[in-house]
Chain A
Amino acid sequence: MDSKGLILVVDDDPDIVATTRIILEKNGYEVHTAPSGAAALGLLDRITPDILLLDVMMTTDTEGFDLAFKLKEDPRFRDLPIIMLTAFLDKVRTEGAGPFEFILGEQWPVEWLFEKPLDAKKLLAKIAAVLKERKTA
């Protein structure tokens, strides 16, 4: 298969999953999807994606970040680039309460953070850039 890369999309919003899949597949990527962090972990035993697109708030408010931290601690997935997606990325969150605070911390376990609705052009450009960087590295 002449795919440009294998992408795993993890999000509990079926509309986001469906539209992201359409955009990515039309642009030559192979796409797998998972509706939760646990499902994603199960899937990761069988497939080796080139990039992970990961929603922040799923069943719990920090499920996406929890998974991201877990993967970064696992030697098998340490180098797997992660792009986080969130329905709510605003300046407000940085001063706020709860789990939003740590998003601004220095130690992001992720390559990038996009706000939903996703800008298809920017997302595709970022994915291409990350993959290119990976190949040269």
Chain B
Amino acid sequence: MAAGVTDTAPISPLPSLDPYVRWPVSARWAAAGLIAFAALAAWGAGVSFPLFGMLLVAAALLAANAWLRQWSQRLGDRLGTPEGRARFARWQVALDSAALWAAVYLSGGLGSPVLFALLVPACCAALLLPAPQAWGAGTGILAALALTGLAELAGWLPHQPLIFRGEDLAPAPDAWGTAAALARFAAFGLPIALLAGAILRRLQRRLAALEREREAQARFHHQLQTLFSILETIGSTHTLEQVLETATAETARVMHVKGISVKLLSEDGRFLRYAAAFGLPEHVIGENRVEVARSPLNRRIIEGEPFVTGRLAERESFQFGEALSEAQIQSVLFLPLKVDGRVIGILGAYCAKPDRFSADDVAFFRLAAKIVAIALENARAYDAVKTLSNERNWFMMKVAHNLRAPLAGMVSILDVVRGRYLGGLTDDQDEYLRRLDRRARTMLSMINELLTLSRNRDRRQEALGGSTVPADLARRVQRTFQDRAAEKRLAFRVELPAEELPPIRGPLETIEQILENLVSNAVKYTPDEGSVAVRFSKADGTVRIEVGDTGIGIPHQDRPRLFTEFFRAENARAMEVVGTGLGLAIVKENIDKLGGRIVVESEEGAGTLFVVHLPAAAGEEKR
């Protein structure tokens, strides 16, 4: 059969002839019983024959069977080697033949009504043994019968009559009769029995082959699942630490091994460091760093040669031998972790069973190692980008603070002067100080908004997690703007519908930024005593938010550039000196990130209505 199959034996026992080899043992109890019962019944019915001899045959068969049973148990579940199985089968055939021969002889020899019972061991031989041996057994049985016939004819062996009501049911045949009986047995009985056995044997083999194929497929399926499972788990993590942790744990779990370790090679390739170890005792990891130059074993693995051993204790040269056998680890497998042909580390697998890693397993672990290596490399790249981005953010933060601090000082001084804390001012002086103050404040908000924009760019690639409850959003918007609206005596309303709204997909920060900018504009560009309204409603898988005002409106020609950076509509600039032109750019960016959309309706001098649609969070995102 398939050459590789015996290599993978540890995974599952092969379906084999075992049940057929063992089955006769159970059948034989019944057969011996049947012989004894039939003999007693015949005797009871008045048939006269050597009853004692027949019972002795049954007893001998029982005794032989007890011995066979013990043998089969000693051979264990899988009856040992093929040779062991064949020897066992031969013994069974021989003992059965002997017992049945005795029964046939005691019931009349070649004339016995149970002569054809001798076909049973022949059939068994064909089922259990290779063809030549089966034919050998058949010939042996025939020879024994022929000898019996001859011996009876010659008078060397007494004929055992089977007498019923004074008549011999199995009279001793004469020479012709003997020849005819032997010919019948040899020409019809024996070939049919042998043929039937052989056909059964072939069928059984076929079944076994099918079963092996099924096993192989199941193995293959399992391996695919395993790879996929590893891929899936480490695909959903980003940081190096997480990838290491999940990759080792997951690989150990799906491969059913005791431990998995990952050693990573230092940049200069001189040292190996245990980066992760799952399921191994602390002291195995022991010295955390290995110098490659001093470890021929590790050097060979790094050069691309996998290391496998199935009997750890026997390998004295193995440098971790002691610690690992203390942990009762017998099988070890080390493979290089490679990305683009470059070795980045070593993947180790440990198992307490001896000879755990077959050639198949090594091939499979190689695939797993590839996946792990790629995941590690990605995680490293991700970490590097993350660090860079954090550094940049931190730098931006410092810059923003350092730019804002002097401006804040400046504005504070202006406040004190304009607040007449230091004496009176003329109207002109106050007016120009007011302009100075506005300019400084514009700069302050510009710094904030530029920072926001740059950071948003930075995070554009990142998935936005979390969800936001519209009611929270409404409350915060109300609180943020009520004072400013009151100062201008605006009618300011934030309205939620009676029905409950689904949460919006995305973090509160991002969504609030959208609303803050829209409402802030609405308040800013609506003349005193106007009105500003924010309305939430549900619309087809999205949450719809309207921000409407009765303000100056947006001129038609300015609409196309409304959401570009630093753009401010002409009438907006005429009304308010302060304004960075970044607010709506931020709004647009955030809405794009959330997968929403925004439309604007406006009539110059009458008001503006922004309508924002944001996707609702799916049910499963409530993690």
Contact = CB atoms under 8 A, between A and B. Distances in A.
Interface of A: 13, 15-16, 18-20, 22-23, 26, 57, 87-88, 90-98, 100, 116-118, 120
A15 B412 contact: yes
B397 A95 contact: no
Given A91-B512, A100-B397, A118-B412, 16 more contacts: A13-B409, A15-B410, A16-B409, A19-B415, A19-B416, A23-B415, A23-B416, A23-B421, A88-B397, A90-B448, A91-B513, A96-B394, A116-B409, A117-B407, A117-B408, A120-B419
Contacts of A120: 415, 419
Given A16-B409, A19-B416, A117-B408, A88 B509 contact: no
Interface string B386-406: 000010011001001100110
Contact of B405 (A19, A87, A91): A87
B26 to A, nearest CB: 73
Contacts of B422: 22
B452 A90 contact: yes
Contacts of B448: 90, 92
A97 B393 contact: yes
Interface in B447-470: 448, 451-452, 455
B397 A117 contact: no
A88 B400 CA distance: 8
A117 B411 contact: yes
B413 interface: yes
Contacts of A15: 409-410, 412-413
A26 B411 CA distance: 18
A87 B509 CA distance: 20
B509 A94 contact: yes
B244 to A, nearest CB: 23
A96 B459 CA distance: 11
A129 to B, nearest CB: 15
A28 B585 CA distance: 45
Residue from A87, A94, A116, A120 whose CB has the most chain B CB atoms within 10 Å:
A87
A96 B397 contact: yes
Nearest to B453: A92
A21 to B, nearest CB: 10
B412 A20 contact: yes
A74 B410 CA distance: 35
Contacts of A90: 400, 448, 451-452
Interface in B40-89: none
Interface size class of B (residues with CB under 8 A): 20 to 34
Given A57-B401, A88-B400, A97 B451 contact: no
B416 A22 contact: yes
A13 B402 CA distance: 12
Contacts of B516: 91
B513 A117 contact: no
| Cβ-closest 7 pairs across A and B | A15-B409, A117-B411, A116-B408, A19-B412, A87-B405, A19-B416, A117-B408
A16 B404 CA distance: 13
A72 B444 CA distance: 32
A98 B394 CA distance: 7
A96 B412 contact: no
22 contacts: A15-B410, A19-B413, A22-B416, A87-B401, A87-B408, A88-B397, A88-B404, A90-B452, A91-B512, A91-B513, A91-B516, A95-B455, A95-B507, A96-B397, A97-B393, A98-B394, A100-B397, A116-B409, A117-B412, A117-B415, A117-B444, A118-B415
Contact of B455 (A23, A88, A96, A116): A96
A91 B516 CA distance: 11
Contacts of B413: 15, 18-19
A96 B393 contact: yes
B451 A92 contact: yes
A137 B315 CA distance: 78
A16 B452 contact: no
A120 B421 CA distance: 12
B99 to A, nearest CB: 89
A15 B407 CA distance: 11
B362 to A, nearest CB: 44
A95 B465 CA distance: 13
Given A87-B408, A90-B452, A117-B412, A22 B421 contact: yes
Nearest to B448: A90
B397 A116 contact: no
A91 B412 contact: no
Nearest to A122: B483
Contacts of A88: 397, 400-401, 404
B225 to A, nearest CB: 39
Contacts of B412: 15-16, 19-20, 116-118
A19 B321 CA distance: 74
Contacts of A13: 405, 408-409
Nearest to A93: B397
A96 B404 CA distance: 17
Contacts of A19: 409, 412-413, 415-416
Contacts of B507: 95
Interface string B415-444: 110010110000000000000000001001
A116 B507 CA distance: 27
Nearest to A95: B509
Contact of A16 (B390, B408, B513): B408
A90 B412 CA distance: 18
Residue from A23, A26, A91, A100 whose CB has the most chain B CB atoms within 10 Å:
A91
A98 B397 contact: yes
B509 A91 contact: yes
A135 B419 CA distance: 29
Nearest to A96: B393
A23 B513 CA distance: 33
Contacts of B411: 117
A16 B444 CA distance: 16
A93 B401 CA distance: 11
A20 B410 CA distance: 12
B416 to A, nearest CB: 5
B480 to A, nearest CB: 11
A97 B397 contact: yes
A13 B406 CA distance: 9
